[in-house]
Amino acid sequence: KKKKKKTCRAEIDRRSRGERGEIIIMVGKKASGGRGGQRKRVRTQASATAKAQSVSRMKGGRYEADLRLATEAVRLASKLCRASQLQLRENENTNQTKRDKLESPVTVADLGAQAIVSWALQNLPNSGAVTRNDGFSLVAEEDSDFLRSEEGADLRNRVVDLVNNTLRGSGLKELTEAEVLLAIDEGRSEGGSDRRHWVLDPIDGTRGFVGNRQYAIALALLDEGEPVLGVLGCPNLSLEAEDLDARTAAATSSSESSSSSQQEDGSGYLFVAEKRRGAYKVGIEIEAGSSGSDAESGAPGDILGHRISVDEVDPNDAVYMESVETKHSDHAFARKVAENSGINKDSLKLDSQVKYGVIASGKASAFMRFPDLDYKEWIWDHAAGAIIMEEAGGVVTDSEGKKLDFSKGRTLNNGNGIVAAPPKLHRKLIESIKALGR
């Protein structure tokens, strides 16, 4: 027995460091403290986290404990969003009143995802290990003002029910109505260059969510105004699909066929990154304790992320990405920039920050966004995606080539437009933008 314990400690030591710099992501009941024979494993996770923090101080993985916590928070929110999207599909052919649309599953999911991530970052096992003296700060999109009104009572009840159904299914304690509202309102922080701030977009790509296309739960951590980790939950993404745009095409051509054909097919990814430690992809593992195609460790729930990197290809072979919605970006100008840079292939249109994960995985080459000239970007629309892209070897700037500045509050302190690509292609794109003179 003594020999077995030593072997276990050695295994914890090895895996907390990660082989070849890889990051171990803990998900499922085993990571969140579920019952039923999981107590020993929870202690193992705590030991691994403590060991990882010790190693991190020597090897630069300063935010590893934060990353584990963020990953589990986004996994929970992804589970919540999938449940809500199933309800949306069931209701898509029914007649809805204005009030129905206000209280639609996407509204419920937005508020519920913000509540569950906010609560998880403060209350999941090991959340105390990442608490700092300056307290908890969350910069997020939603607030509970309408929910607290008399008119918002029905919506409030639906949000609370969705949050608690998700927590109950993961073996976690349910929240009171007051706790849910408080968790949502934690997102009112103004951010800035001082201290640490979590940044959250609970559902990035609302139209993609409604249309059964791509959307993302986007969570990042800023330290003194700089992103130091990011997690993207992409429940509908399948990187193995021959045509990454197939889901968009199916959803826009026939809502009926998209609903029937896009059942729970095992798709879905988490993209994670920590400053100076690389970017990784991992199966989203919605069902707690299950093992997916990306699981490389022996025990279910212990997910070893695969390291990803951008693919620097010749412009002739490059594919650039843009938003599905034309009102989000000037597609005609993006086409001119692409052609001027030697890119001749048609664009790949996907909703949300999923685009950052796709490029970081080498499945596409660039992302360009050119909104109206007076538009200011919210920091939650790019914080998580930007660090994942950069840790995968890419470059993310505004359309003038300036690094994105997340340090000035809730909006980016940058010029108009976003360009993300591998280094050489990025330089070509910026040169083309200057030459075309937007």
Catalytic residue list: 110, 206
- The partner residues of 279 in beta bridges, in order of sequence, read 273, 308
| Residues, the chain | 438
Strands 196-204 and 138-140: parallel
Please tell me the distance from the alpha carbon of residue 198 to that of residue 231, in angstroms, as a whole number.
Answer: 11
Output Rg (C-alpha) for the chain, integer angstroms. 21
Strands 366-369 and 320-322: parallel
The set of residues, in sequence order, having a beta carbon less than 8 Å from that of 1 and lying 6+ positions away, is none
Evaluate whether 334 touches 370 at the Cβ level (below 8 Å): yes
Read off the tokens for 120. 């998880």
Evaluate whether 203 touches 217 at the Cβ level (below 8 Å): yes
SS (H, E, C) 145-192: CCCCCCCCHHHHHHHHHHHHHHHHHCCCCCCCHHHHHHHHHCCECCCC
Please tell me the distance from the alpha carbon of residue 418 to that of residue 377, in angstroms, as a whole number.
Answer: 9
The set of residues, in sequence order, having a beta carbon less than 8 Å from that of 191 and lying 6+ positions away, is 137, 139, 197, 199, 222, 379, 406, 407, 409, 410
Strands 366-369 and 418-421: antiparallel
Place of tokens 């100076």: 276
Please tell me the distance from the alpha carbon of residue 414 to that of residue 411, in angstroms, as a whole number.
Answer: 9
